[in-house]
Structure 1
Amino acid sequence: MYLGIDCGTQGTKALLIDADGKAHGRGYAKHALIERDNGAREQEPRWWVDALIASVKQAVSSNGNEVVALSVSGQQHGLVILDEQKNVIRPAKLWNDTETAAQNAALIEKLGGASAVLKRYGILPLTGYTVSKLLWIKENEPENFARIRHILLPHEYLNFWLTGNIVAEYGDASGTAFFDVRTRTWIAEILDAIDGGSGLLRAALPPLIGADAIVGTVRPEVAAELGISPQCTVASGGGDNMMGAIGTGNVREGVVTLSLGTSSTVYSYRDTPLFATNGSVAPFCSSSGGWLPLVCTMNATNVVTQTLHLLGLTVEDIDPILADTEPGAGGLTFLPFLNGERTPDLPNAQGSLHGISAVNYSPANLLRSAIEGVTFGILNGLDLILDGKPATKILVIGGGARSKQWRQMLADATGATIQVPLEDEAGCLGAAIQAMHAKSVQDGAPASFVELSDRMVKVDESKTAEAREGRLSLYRAARYRYDTCLFAAYPELQSGSSN
């Protein structure tokens, strides 16, 4: 048996599968969240541990002794700092924390500006990435900064708790912005710019390992608490997007994955690194041995959920309302930046409605415009990844994928075939597949990611959506109106001063 664990923003999930990919158990436990009006978003790492314990216990039930390997998927970009005794110093600042926007801008300027940083290091730090969190701690909590001895990401912290070993993995490390995605090495120069060259942050970096590597064996006391075999090995794991790629078969070129969760991401595997010319594209490494160019928007199902709540509606109302309204929402355009935005890079942006009239201002059009706004933002990101080439097939995951009419909107707006994996928890499945791959390498009988994903990743044919005739032009017009409103509200996007 193989165990995949996915530590997200809202909770931790666990999935137990056998060598054929059949699910034998599932678990879930929620996380609390620290939110402040200044954009701070934080969690105590202990909450992740507690949720991991609860979710794994649910998943393994009576099969725990059969678990031979596990892997952890974790929310990207979060910063966990440990002291000399390897104790957590403060709550982790998360991927959606925008409190560090000023530090991010200052760091880019100090390093020579956006164009120079992108050319020199292959990646442009965006608000939410790990690096600006370190500068924020230095400026706001100098005593905590001085205590830093280990820098970890969320999944790396859970690996440490599981095994006692501290390592980093290429895919998740890509999202720190102090990692060169082309050479797969740490960028000490960026950390020197934060600590003044003292070497404090350099010394806190963990050693790097690849997708084939084993972090270690589960500690005996942890195995007993989880109810799994003490011989269980822990594979390298990775970021949630990287594990979602594996769990959707996005381990060969030509596959596109679009995740509609609290945030939305779109990414496509490459055998070679992407030399990004636009800072909105994150040219990350994959957790399967290649690269995974990715675009993330920070506003997705959270915007839809909040709009539903405002209107006194539920998720069950989404499909009938989308079915009964037309593309373009009667001319109503919603810029859905309720949490600032990462793509485009507008951390201090706010949401806005445009084109309101007595005719179109209805609850149905308001909901449709919110969903269209989220959709158009991520499709603009997809255009950047594919360099304007049309997508032919897109695998959709996340909470938004459950909506039949939202899937149909994606098909109509892109002209692509939209498919949904049979396994809802792509992050968990990807983690379990990675555990299986690493264990096969360790055992001397390596099974490739392509081979494993072909066997494990199945599509729910009943949820496939094909583009309908005559709709693409309507959505192109609505997207043009969305972009026009966006550039009018944020003219710096046209001038190239923001990506």
Structure 2
Amino acid sequence: MAYVLGLDLGTSSLKGLLMNEKGESCGTATADYPLLHPASGYSEQDPAEWIRACEIVFETLKAAVPDFTEELQGISFSGQMHSLVVLNDEQEVLRPAILWNDVRTSAQCAKIMATFGDDLLAITQNIALEGFTLPKILWLQENEPEIWQEVRHLLLPKDYLGFWLTGQQHMDYSDAAGTLLLDVAKKEWSTEILNQFAIPATYLPPLIDSQGKTGVIRPALRQRFGFKHEIQVFAGGADNACAAIGAGILEVETGMVSIGTSGVFLSYEDTKIPHYAGQLHLFNHGIKDRYYSMGVTLAAGHSLSWFKETFAKDLSFEELLAGVGNIGPGANGLLFTPYIVGERTPHVDSRVRGSFIGIDTTHTLSHFSRAVLEGITFSLKDSQQLMETIAGKTFDKIISVGGGAKNPEWLQIQADIFGTEILCLEVEEGPGLGAAMLAATGLGWFASLQECSDTFVSYKKGASPIPTNVEKYQKIYETYQKVYAATKDICYELGE
């Protein structure tokens, strides 16, 4: 049976997911690689590690799946967004990649917004933040001019891996949107931005749809790994776009909430671009001529992990949350704001910090645990509310993925706070599934991603909103929204 391979190039590992035409998972492989932290706030990675990891994934699948080399037909990618890879004229890597979670570029972001902020927002639909690629390029120009003098190619991680496989350089629209160099509406590199920041257009690769074919595996690699046929390679997409595709987020009424270390509330957008004025991220989707919007909670699962490690280190997560279902909405007057490392949406504020508010002698560990779950979910509701109020969106269901989908009490809290039916994936494969679906559709196995989704993605019930709880949470949420303004100045003073 024919296979497609989705390669998910994440921050700490490359994951390969092998799928057949029936939408069945036929093999997985993972290879880890290190992060480099040469200075405080710096986060880098050697692109050679991604190649080494890809070699391990190929060899692992070759050993585990007898007909892997004979039946593999296509490969596509999901990739960590924003991270900067620079090559010279000989297409050699000049320095370690500067990753999305590197925060050295605060000065460059301030400069961009002060001199070009309104224009940037109009062209890219986003504001300059440390994670994006453009500030990293400016940092390189200013701090490593000798390296910048040699730069002739700018790529993102998955596109560098695709270049190694095919010898061809491309970038899809969903990843390009995260560089702050793309005119999102026109789907072309912005001449205005490139000229403003002295970036030659020749440094950027051709743009292509996520399902677009970028080439075939180079003959030398085909021979090395023993592939019996020509393997077609497709562009792939940004990790959040691929996660949305892999969760079947292909309709405007369906949202996705993803709770990992950080949290994301994501919504499919049709052909019309909503103007969120930088309050939410807006990017081109992995689906042709479509978009997605998303808000980010910086410390979602991180807040729960921090709470457990600090106050209940000897308990498992299951034990920690065992009593949450016995506590009513609002945790008996206890509120938590998950700003423990600052916040992104709706408050772009790196200096604010989290709070427990309303503590009294009746509160137990279970009250605090429930308050943490509610606070994380309230923070994600901030993004939902922006979508509903600015773009007039309504959600008839939300797909919950990640850590928030693993606990039934938390699923019920999500249903009640979001006021919407919550579904979960029968099998959660992550962004790698979206990448595999892009390859399957690119090969022509399916006429559309929707048709592919009908085969590859299936759901199970998560939780339905309880009307009395929804009403209670609406009032509590209004109180939650007051906490940021009430504590911001105090946090700043304490931080000094």
TM-score, normalised with respect to structure 2: 0.89
In the other structure, the counterpart of 2:398 is: 394
In the other structure, the counterpart of 2:138 is: 135
CA distance in 2: counterparts of 1:149 and 1:361, whole angstroms = 60
CA distance in 2: counterparts of 1:280 and 1:486, whole angstroms = 16
CA-based RMSD of the aligned residues comes to 2.4
Asked if the contact 2:120/2:193 (under 8 Å) is kept, the reply is: no
Residues 293 and 389 of structure 1: is their aligned pair in 2 closer, same or farther, counting only changes over 3 Å?
closer
String of CA shifts for 1:92-146, please: whole Å, max 9, x gaps.
22222222122112101111x4x45323543333331111111122222222222
CA distance in 2: counterparts of 1:339 and 1:254, whole angstroms = 31
**One-letter identity of the residue aligned with 1:381:** S
In the other structure, the counterpart of 1:480 is: 478
In the other structure, the counterpart of 1:295 is: 295
Q: Pairwise mapping of residues 9-408 of structure 1 onto structure 2 (< 5 A)?
A: 9-35=11-37, 38-60=40-62, 61=64, 62-65=66-69, 66-111=71-116, 113=117, 115-195=118-198, 200-223=199-222, 228-229=227-228, 231-289=230-288, 290-311=290-311, 312=313, 313-359=315-361, 362-387=364-389, 389-408=393-412
String of CA shifts for 1:422-478, please: whole Å, max 9, x gaps.
2211311111110011111xxxx76111111112111134xx211123211332233
String of CA shifts for 1:313-340, please: whole Å, max 9, x gaps.
3332354143233333333333323333
CA distance in 1: counterparts of 2:85 and 2:350, whole angstroms = 24
CA distance in 1: counterparts of 2:388 and 2:264, whole angstroms = 14
Runs of 4+ more than 6 Å apart: none
CA distance in 1: counterparts of 2:67 and 2:243, whole angstroms = 25
Q: For structure 1, which segment, 85-94 or 317-326, has the greater mean C-alpha deviation from structure 2 after superposition?
A: 317-326
Q: For structure 1, which segment, 122-131 or 98-107, has the greater mean C-alpha deviation from structure 2 after superposition?
A: 122-131
Q: For structure 1, which segment, 89-98 or 340-349, has the greater mean C-alpha deviation from structure 2 after superposition?
A: 340-349
Asked if the contact 2:295/2:346 (under 8 Å) is kept, the reply is: no
Helix, strand or coil for the counterpart of 1:420? strand
Asked if the contact 1:390/1:414 (under 8 Å) is kept, the reply is: no
In the other structure, the counterpart of 2:414 is: 410
Helix, strand or coil for the counterpart of 2:463? coil
In structure 2, list runs of 5 or more residues that go unmatched. 490-496
In the other structure, the counterpart of 2:493 is: none
**One-letter identity of the residue aligned with 1:139:** E
In the other structure, the counterpart of 1:471 is: 469
Residues 296 and 260 of structure 1: is their aligned pair in 2 closer, same or farther, counting only changes over 3 Å?
same
Asked if the contact 2:211/2:236 (under 8 Å) is kept, the reply is: no
CA displacement at 1:84 relative to structure 2: 2.0
Helix, strand or coil for the counterpart of 2:248? coil
CA distance in 1: counterparts of 2:275 and 2:83, whole angstroms = 23
Residues 412 and 85 of structure 1: is their aligned pair in 2 closer, same or farther, counting only changes over 3 Å?
same
TM-score, normalised with respect to structure 1: 0.89
Residues 356 and 6 of structure 1: is their aligned pair in 2 closer, same or farther, counting only changes over 3 Å?
same
CA distance in 1: counterparts of 2:402 and 2:254, whole angstroms = 17
CA distance in 2: counterparts of 1:83 and 1:165, whole angstroms = 15
**One-letter identity of the residue aligned with 1:18:** N
In the other structure, the counterpart of 1:496 is: none
CA displacement at 1:247 relative to structure 2: 1.0
Residues 63 and 162 of structure 1: is their aligned pair in 2 closer, same or farther, counting only changes over 3 Å?
same
Residues 138 and 46 of structure 1: is their aligned pair in 2 closer, same or farther, counting only changes over 3 Å?
same
Q: For structure 1, which segment, 247-256 or 355-364, has the greater mean C-alpha deviation from structure 2 after superposition?
A: 355-364
Residues 466 and 234 of structure 1: is their aligned pair in 2 closer, same or farther, counting only changes over 3 Å?
same
Q: Calculate percent identity across the aligned residue pairs.
A: 32
Asked if the contact 1:11/1:28 (under 8 Å) is kept, the reply is: yes
CA distance in 1: counterparts of 2:285 and 2:150, whole angstroms = 32
Q: Pairwise mapping of residues 436-451 of structure 1 onto structure 2 (< 5 A)?
A: 436-440=440-444, 447-451=447-451
CA distance in 2: counterparts of 1:394 and 1:37, whole angstroms = 40
Asked if the contact 1:162/1:219 (under 8 Å) is kept, the reply is: yes
In the other structure, the counterpart of 1:3 is: 5
**One-letter identity of the residue aligned with 1:291:** Y
**One-letter identity of the residue aligned with 2:282:** P
What is the count of residue pairs matched by the alignment?
Answer: 479
CA displacement at 1:162 relative to structure 2: 1.6
CA distance in 2: counterparts of 1:122 and 1:55, whole angstroms = 36
CA distance in 2: counterparts of 1:63 and 1:372, whole angstroms = 48
**One-letter identity of the residue aligned with 2:456:** M
CA displacement at 1:47 relative to structure 2: 2.5
CA distance in 2: counterparts of 1:127 and 1:321, whole angstroms = 39
Residues 75 and 226 of structure 1: is their aligned pair in 2 closer, same or farther, counting only changes over 3 Å?
farther
Helix, strand or coil for the counterpart of 1:5? strand
CA displacement at 1:206 relative to structure 2: 0.6
